[in-house]
Amino acid sequence: MEMEVSRPLRLRCSIQNYDWGKLGEDSRVARLFSRNSGAEIDPERPYAEFWMGTHESGPSFLARGESGGPDSEPLTLRKWILENPDVLGEKVVERWGSELPFLFKVLSVAKALSIQAHPDKELAGMLHKMRPSIYKDPNQKPEMAIALTDFKALCGFVSIEELKDVLAGVPEIVELVGDEDASKVLNAKEQDGYAEVKPILQSIFTKLMSANKEAVSELVSKLKCRLNVENKIRKLTEKEQLVLLLEQQYPADVGVISAFFFNYVKLSPGEALYIGANEPHAYISGDCIECMATSDNVVRAGLTPKYRDVQTLCSMLTYKQGFPEILRGTPLNHYISRYTPPFDEFEVDCCSLLPQESLVFPALAGPSIFVVVAGEGRMQMGSAVDEATVMEGHVYFVPANGEIGLTAGTAGPLQLYRAGVNSRVL
């Protein structure tokens, strides 16, 4: 079924109701999904992730009327792209075949996600082969989160200086990992390079993560008691406050203690964080736009009721140390800011228009997905006479080489995000 694609295609998208999601109307994901699909919001249910793309675990469909008559079977975006690979553009097909290389999401996080890392391409292929029921695809999954609200996360290991402070200030960790490993950290010198520090950090972190359940549970409760007592005589550090919060969410979990090893990242709206392969992280709270390579491979090791693969996690990590780079978006013009992570699969534009302002997104050699997160307006592709009304919750697939015109309505500002293949490869 070849069809002339002369306008953006509206998509009906999927959600994930993971238990860490915000409940009912409080969830941005629920509100977008309800406007996207017409579904009612269940106030008792967590709405965690809104998925826009082609991954089998949460496919997007062409909205009714886009794929033929009203009675035709719902057609997935993936199937439609396979039948019309030209919509990806030549360069994308050359590099990734007939697959959309990125997956676009909105997240509403009420409580911490698991401590996790995503495998690189080689490891992903191996894990998928060995355990296809857990690692469902053979792809790497670099990702980027752009804060829509204040957004908190743990990401990457703290510097060696900070780690020394942690060991000096958190006796429970030393108790768990032993004096020998602790003293190796304390004796590490500032000028020691990655090669010297990596084995020390790997050894102490692996010991912590693989400690037995009873020992962990006992130490977490010790830690909690100590912090609650000290809270009466001094102001706890932000990290200590976070640890108490994590303990409430995941009592007796090793992730509570391991939080001391990671950088505590607090994003303001508009700031973004990107995470490469084999870097540990855990989102803690807030709403964000997320983009990643089309994959759902997660290796988890804490703060989760799901399957834990501690051995894989501890051996795959890079153990790079230091605070992650924060992106603030590069203005392309008055209306658009671009977030460019160091990954080929994707980039994200944030676009804001005041009432009745107009803008043209120049044609790109790759495909795009647009999601409207606020306001309403009109969208048009190229010189087509067809204009689509766009509003909050609408999602559109725009084929390669499609130029998009946007005009905000009269009611309020129009805000949307565009995900596309990183321009550096187009």
Please write down the long-range contacts of 32-38, taking CB distance under 8 Å and 24 or more positions apart. 32/106, 32/371, 32/373, 32/392, 32/393, 33/393, 34/393, 35/391, 35/392, 35/393, 35/394, 36/11, 36/12, 36/393, 36/394, 36/395, 37/12, 37/13
Question: What angle in degrees, to the nearest 10, is found between the helix axes of 238-249 and 213-230?
Answer: 130
Task: Name the nearest CA neighbour of 272 among 350, 215, 169, 202.
Answer: 350
Q: Is 69 helix (H, G, I), strand (E, B) or coil?
A: coil
Phi and psi dihedrals of 409, rounded to 5?
-75, -170
d(CA 327, CA 151): 14
Angle at 374 between CA 372 and CA 378, to 5 degrees: 60
118 is in an annotated binding site: yes
The 395-398 sheet, strands edge to edge: 61-62, 9-12, 395-398, 368-374, 414-420, 347-353, 336-339, 330-331
Helix (H) or strand (E) holding 286: strand 281-293
128 is in an annotated binding site: no
Bridge partners, residue 273, by sequence: 145, 326
Concatenating the DSSP letter of every residue in 158-189 gives PPHHHHHHHHHH-HHHHHHH-HHHHHHHHH--
Options 10, 300, 308, 418, the catalytic residue: 300
The single-letter code of the amino acid at 262 is F
CB 176 within 8 A of CB 218: no
CA separation, residue 189 to residues 143, 171, 193, 288, 324 (Å): 33, 21, 9, 38, 22
CA separation, residue 310 to residues 165, 204, 280, 283 (Å): 25, 13, 12, 18
Phi and psi dihedrals of 292, rounded to 5?
-155, 170
Q: Is 234 helix (H, G, I), strand (E, B) or coil?
A: coil
d(CA 365, CA 402): 8
Instruction: Answer yes or no: 338 catalytic.
Output: no
- Reading the block at residue 154, the tokens are 């743990």
Q: Which positions are catalytic? A: 300
Known binding positions: 116, 118, 143, 281
Question: Binding site for Zn(2+): what residues are annotated?
Answer: 116, 118, 143, 281
